[in-house]
Amino acid sequence: MSITAKSLAAAACGVVALVGVTATSAQADPPAGTVPALTDIVGVGSDTTQDALNNLSEAYNATSPANKVYSWDATGTSPIVTKQDAAPIERPNGSSAGITLLQNTTTSVVDYARSSRVRKTSGADAGTIFLPFAKDVLKYASATTTNAPQNLTKAQLTSIYNCTATTWNQVGGTSTATIQPKLPQAGSGTRATFLGDLGITTPGSCVDDTVQEHDPAAVAGNPDAIAPFSEGRYNALPDPKTVKLNTSGYSLTRNLYNVVRDINGGPVGSEWVNGGVEPRLQAFFGDGLGTNRGWICGSGATSAITAAGFVQLTAAENCGKGE
């Protein structure tokens, strides 16, 4: 059973209901006419987790917290004004784009970045804390009628995305048609996770790496196109779906994160000892130490995460503990 199927089963067995929010009803961006206050908690970034944070912010704000939470989607009209008195900015599209904005601005602009990728080992994410809250499965999507085998392995996908295999019959298919591999845009956490798992630094020249992450239009109706795709995001697509996910073969379970500034300014790892999450954020995100895991790791958030197609991490899985 996939983790999404498990999450739906859990919801059916009595997980606390998320009042007013379903997989498709949560508010995208702050509600019309609402400009978040300077003291509110505002985020940008990942396409993968935008629905989850829309759900979570709606449910959390219904509890009348001292500091409300808002989330700007990865795509939409641009520029945006993230908070009162903030200058207009281009909407960040993807995990890395959101993290870069977080690093290069202050709390007067944004407070967190959504991320579907892990912290980079290169040091590029210095000054931040990655707070895991949920898990997802990464697969690949193809058209509902396709030449793509539905059991491609990691090795076969590697050969497709480095362009050493260019026709379907080279990877277990029967068609001699040319494979059309797609990748999300630069800055996408799904792109970084997928390529990192395949061991590819730079995709081959046959790859179209400019498509919008999790946009079914990238492969729908094209029997020779494939693209990495979140299982959670797929299950939240309206029916009838125009794409399908592979039924066996490649499958990667990954954690999903919210990234905040490390107010201690220490090197990677210092969060485990000294915390570093700004106090204003701790009611929602926790302290980063695992002592206070925040509302997002509690039972009040479970249904919001499930409705977005993901599975909430447990304390044993280090929900809310900084990386």
CA 322/CA 135 separation, integer angstroms: 15
The pLDDT of residue 64 is above 80: yes
Q: What pLDDT digit, counting tens, does each position of 120-164 carry?
A: 988 899 899 999 999 999 999 999 999 999 999 999 999 999 999
The pLDDT of residue 6 is above 60: no
**In whole angstroms, what separates CA 223 from the centre of its chain?**
27
Is there a single domain that holds both residue 84 and residue 177? Answer: no
Section 216-231 average pLDDT: 98
Is there a single domain that holds both residue 123 and residue 156? Answer: no
Structural domain count, the chain: 2
Is there a single domain that holds both residue 209 and residue 88? Answer: no
H-run or E-run covering 284: helix 282-285
User: What is the reported pTM?
Assistant: 0.90
Reduced to 3 states (helix: H, G, I; strand: E, B; else coil), residue 117 is coil
Q: Among the three residues 253, 284, 305, which one is the final residue of a domain in this structure?
A: 253
CATH code for position 13: 3.40.190.10
CA 40/CA 220 separation, integer angstroms: 39
In this prediction, residue 9 carries a pLDDT of 42
Q: What pLDDT digit, counting tens, does each position of 302-322 carry?
A: 999 999 999 999 999 999 999
Section 41-69 average pLDDT: 98
Range of the domain at 218: 140-253
In terms of DSSP H, where are the helices of 118-254? 154-161, 189-198, 231-235
Average pLDDT over the chain reads 91
> In this structure, what token pair is assigned to residue 204?
């081959």
Section 276-298 average pLDDT: 96
The pLDDT of residue 240 is above 90: yes
Is there a single domain that holds both residue 288 and residue 245? Answer: no
